[in-house]
Chains A and B, each alone.
Chain A
Amino acid sequence: MSDYSVLHATIVVERTYPASPKRVFAAWSNKEALLSWALPGDDWVSGYECFDFRVGGNDRSYFGPPGGETYLNDTTYLDIVPDARIVSAGAMTSAGKRFSAGLMTVEFQPAGNGGCRLVMTEQSAFLDGHDLPENHEAGWNEMLEKLGNHLGRQQAAA
């Protein structure tokens, strides 16, 4: 009996922000901005071993709860249309085990009053029972909430 299994799933999360597509895109393409919002837990630690935002470039980030498991995320950027779209492929690993591999599409669309509708589509393969689509969806909801707070803080400081 094989211990290997693959669960394929698609997760779509949408948000509308009172900020331009240009500003929302900037929050996804800048390392410092990403570190301020792209974390699923409030007290979690994170960092980048490398960050190379261009088509064909690779990122390696780590994140996790304090004193808990550390997750490694390797990302390759596959398509970038400034202020409109980012498509990347990534794989998540913890303690030497690969948890998931996936494709991420982030679309930045103009919304009313100069705002931005963000549509995030994750198409992933969840591996060997280590992770579940529900976990990723909950993580994205948390992070997109934090992205809203990040944009609000920027606005207040401007």
Chain B
Amino acid sequence: MTERRVTHATFTIERRYEASVARVFAAWAKPEAKQRWFACHGDWMPGPYEFDFRVGGREHLSTRDTDGVDHIYDAIYQDIVPGERIIYAYQMQLDTRRISVSLATVEFRAEGDGTRLVFTEQAAFLDGYDRPEEREIGTRAGLENLACELQRQTATA
């Protein structure tokens, strides 16, 4: 029998991007851009992507890792203020096991010619399948991918 337990944790990541708030926000709001930096995980196989960017809208991505395990992400948007913030709740599953449920707040602040992004995750990790430290490392990698996406956009502009 599975032991039922919940570990609650909050972490915040701040980073600066050399792009305007409008461009950084667009990378979170437009499906083509979001999928490029959010889904890319080297040799993993992403499945169909669903993205409905409005309050109450849902986002879904299932990615199969090299061991054949499906990593499933399901989000529902709770608050959107263009150019200011995005709040979404999401759950993660490994195949059929739910490993966490989170509330993520992304704040965008103009800083000179660039943008300061503040990402706050308030999470409930379920039944010992995942840990706050690992989630924070994964999230930092995702926010680094976003920097690459913004650079690619600049290079091709």
Give the chain A neighbours of B84 by CB distance below 8 A.
2, 4
Range of interface residues on A (Cβ < 8 Å)? 20 to 34
Q: Does B147 contact A (CB under 8 A)?
A: no
Docked complex Cα distance between A32 and B150 (Å)? 51
Are B8 and A10 interface neighbours, CB within 8 A? yes
Interface size class of B (residues with CB under 8 A): 20 to 34
For the complex, give the distance between the alpha carbons of A121 and B81 in Å: 26
Q: Does A127 contact B (CB under 8 A)?
A: yes
Asked if A45 is at the interface of the complex by the 8 Å CB criterion, the answer is no
B103, A121: Cβ atoms under 8 Å?
no
**Interface residues in A99-127 (C-beta closer than 8 Å to B):** 101-103, 105, 107, 121, 123-125, 127
Report B1-34 CB contacts with A as 1/0, cut-off 8 Å. Answer: 0001010101000000000000000000000000
Closest residue of chain B to A107 (Cβ to Cβ) is B6
| 26 contacting pairs across A/B (C-beta < 8 A) | A4-B81, A6-B105, A8-B10, A8-B105, A78-B91, A78-B98, A79-B91, A81-B4, A85-B4, A87-B124, A87-B126, A89-B78, A89-B101, A91-B55, A91-B79, A98-B79, A101-B79, A101-B89, A103-B101, A103-B123, A107-B4, A121-B124, A123-B8, A123-B124, A125-B87, A125-B120
* Residues of B that sit less than 8 Å from A by CB: 4, 6, 8, 10, 55-56, 76, 78-79, 81, 84-85, 87, 89, 91, 98, 101-103, 105, 107, 120, 122-124, 126
Prevailing SS type, chain B contact patch: strand
Look across to chain B and name the residue whose beta carbon is closest to the beta carbon of A80: B98
B126 touches A79 (CB 8 A): yes
Separation of A127 and B78 alpha carbons in the complex (Å): 12
Given A76-B89, A81-B4, A102-B103, 7 other A-B residues pairs in contact with their CB atoms under 8 A? A4-B85, A8-B122, A76-B76, A79-B126, A87-B6, A91-B78, A103-B122
How many angstroms from the CA of A2 to the CA of B109 in the assembled complex?
10
- Are A6 and B101 in contact (CB-based, < 8 A)? no
Residues of A within 8 A of B4 (CB): 81, 84-85, 107
Contact in complex: B87, A105 (CB < 8 Å): no
Closest to A101 in B: B78
A74 located at the interface, meaning its Cβ lies under 8 Å from any Cβ of chain B in the complex:
yes
- With A and B bound together, what is the CA distance between A6 and B122 in angstroms? 13
Residues of A within 8 A of B85 (CB): 4, 6
